Structure 1
Amino acid sequence: MSKGAMGTIRSALTKFNKEDDAKALKNAMKGLGTDEDQISAILANRTNAQRQEIREQYKTAYGKDLIQDLKDDLSGNYEETILALMQTPIEYDVHSLNKAISGAGTDERVLIEIMCTRSNAEITAIKGMYKKVYDRELEKDIMDDTSGHFKRLLVSMCTAKRDESDVVDEHKVVQDVKTLFEAGEDQWGTDESEFNRILATRSHAHLKAVFAGYEKAHKKNINDVIKSETSGDLCDGYLTIAKFSNDVIDYYVEGLYKSMKGLGTDDDRLIRIIVTRSEIDLDQIKKKFIQKYNNTVEKFVKGDCSGDYKNVLLAILKE
């Protein structure tokens, strides 16, 4: 996370009473219609920890599961956004991964976005909850749905053994720059195993130094190297690690832009980024978005989304 980063949703900014909120949510779902404005007003202005207290209070007061009641009353992208807010971050990652793996096809982008950016502790928790909820091993499900060097990268991510030290060993940086050059640009073909070893095991701080060292030594940006040496999902996986290591804020700014530009909107990606970064660095992401694209995230959301889905995203963004 960048220095001074903060989210748009912070406990210091919220007026919170779990009993009142649970009752208001119950009333919003009572009868024939649903008061989506009321639901959005509450959940987009509470931290995840506060939402979990509301969830527990709702169960205590009414003997029902709040998430199930919301599922029964809502639909479409609005339902997906509200459920993303109501689940814990780990629950939401587990839900997203299962959704990406289940069914006829595989959404490799989701696998990459989650598995290549989460901390060791988060990945360990994700694996544990995935097993608890679905009674299957996440690693095996990923292996069954992927292949080749891309599968190896995701298996490496599943181990949750990345170095997370902030200390950068300059001697090791020089060695890794040399190894990456020899495994890619300096030979015919690519030694993906060496790229995998470095990108999957080194700390983000170390990788940032390696990429800077590579550009200084060989006058080529690491993203361009990855694009020229690899392709497809493997390329996307390596690029995600490289971009995340270089600049976390910029990685999510680009992700938001790509989710909304072009003919269609990648609704799931848009929801995932806005909700998961809402308490971490969404404020910084919004500011960097304006600098990079000369426009606001809010204006993009207004142009690409509609109805209650649009309104709740704008509420999270704190327009």
Structure 2
Amino acid sequence: MSLPNKSRTLAKAFSGILGVDEKSMMEILVKWHPEDLTTFRNESSSIFLKDKYFLFERWQDYHIAFLVKEFLRFQDVVVQWTMHPWERDARMARKALDGRPQAYGLLIELACTRSSDELLGARKAYQSLYVESIEEDIASRVEGIERQLLVALVSTYRYEGSRINDVAVRSEAIKLGITINRHGDKKKLFKDEEIVRILATRSKPHLKAVFKCYKETFNKNIEEV
């Protein structure tokens, strides 16, 4: 790639139009000589200003502030990417608990998308990092009806096989439908111990079968509740 093309590529990488392109920056900058950098500064008026007193090219202050923010974001991504998955999930869970109730969805995502071993590993890492269990942390920090469900979700070790009990599926789908019709409000479902047990302990294939049976029995998707 010619120097003018590299300069344009680097200017675009710094621009932040689609975020900072760290890969392009490093590929170009590590190979450039001081004179190449001088040319780049002179040709990138959107990034650098010519100092009117001492005639050198200097960064525009607002652009430095923008890049600092972007590089911190990049640093956070790199740090998280290199973490052991257990530690990453434990720190994400703690961050969710330190945030507002709207962040509790992250706890549900972690509990529902990780395998039983992965979730157990995150619980071990949480204890190591914060000298308390994630279960007790949720129980002491979360207020309201979500607490019972969240504690149950992170405490469980789900069966991960493919076996499904058809009798239990139909029974639990009907139980789910009756409870939904009785309470109306989806959040009130979390007060029902039987519903919490189903959501927190049943395997993912079993829950899919329950939700399918619910749709067939009550003629609506569980997402519509």
Please state which band the TM-score falls in when normalised by the shorter chain. 0.5 to 0.7
Q: Does 1:37 align with 2:23?
A: yes
| Distance 1:199-1:39 versus aligned 2 partners, 3 A rule | farther
Q: Does 1:79 align with 2:75?
A: yes
Deviation at 1:82, TM superposition (A): 0.7
What corresponds to 1:267 in structure 2? none
Q: Does 1:141 align with 2:137?
A: yes
Name which of 174, 180, 201 aligns with 1:178. Answer: 174
Deviation at 1:39, TM superposition (A): 9.9
Deviation at 1:100, TM superposition (A): 2.2
Gaps of 5+ in 2: 1-20, 28-69
What corresponds to 1:99 in structure 2? 95
1:86-235 alignment to 2 at 5 Å?
Answer: 86-102=82-98, 105=100, 107-185=103-181, 187-189=182-184, 190-192=188-190, 193=192, 194-225=194-225
| Distance 1:75-1:220 versus aligned 2 partners, 3 A rule | same
What is the CA–CA distance in structure 2 between the aligned matches of 1:204 and 1:211, rounded to whole Å?
11
Higher RCO, Cα 8 Å, sep 6+: 1
| Distance 1:188-1:199 versus aligned 2 partners, 3 A rule | closer
Deviation at 1:40, TM superposition (A): 8.2
1:232-247 alignment to 2 at 5 Å?
Answer: none
| Contact kept in structure 2, 1:119 and 1:160, CA below 8 Å | no
Deviation at 1:129, TM superposition (A): 1.1
TM-score normalised over the length of structure 2? 0.62
Deviations 1:61-117 (A, max 9, x none): xxxxxxxxxxxxx94211121112111211111121222223x64532322221232
RMSD, aligned CA: 2.5
Q: Which moved more, 1:189-198 or 1:173-182?
A: 189-198
What corresponds to 2:7 in structure 1? none
The aligned amino acid for 1:213 is: C
| Contact kept in structure 2, 1:173 and 1:213, CA below 8 Å | yes
The aligned amino acid for 2:152 is: S
| Distance 1:188-1:96 versus aligned 2 partners, 3 A rule | closer
Off by >4 Å, runs of 4+ in structure 1:
38-41, 188-191
| Distance 1:83-1:171 versus aligned 2 partners, 3 A rule | same
Secondary structure of 1:195's counterpart equals helix
| Contact kept in structure 1, 2:183 and 2:189, CA below 8 Å | no
| Contact kept in structure 2, 1:121 and 1:160, CA below 8 Å | no
| Contact kept in structure 1, 2:111 and 2:154, CA below 8 Å | yes
Deviation at 1:145, TM superposition (A): 2.0
Secondary structure of 2:205's counterpart equals helix
What is the CA–CA distance in structure 2 between the aligned matches of 1:97 and 1:39, rounded to whole Å?
33
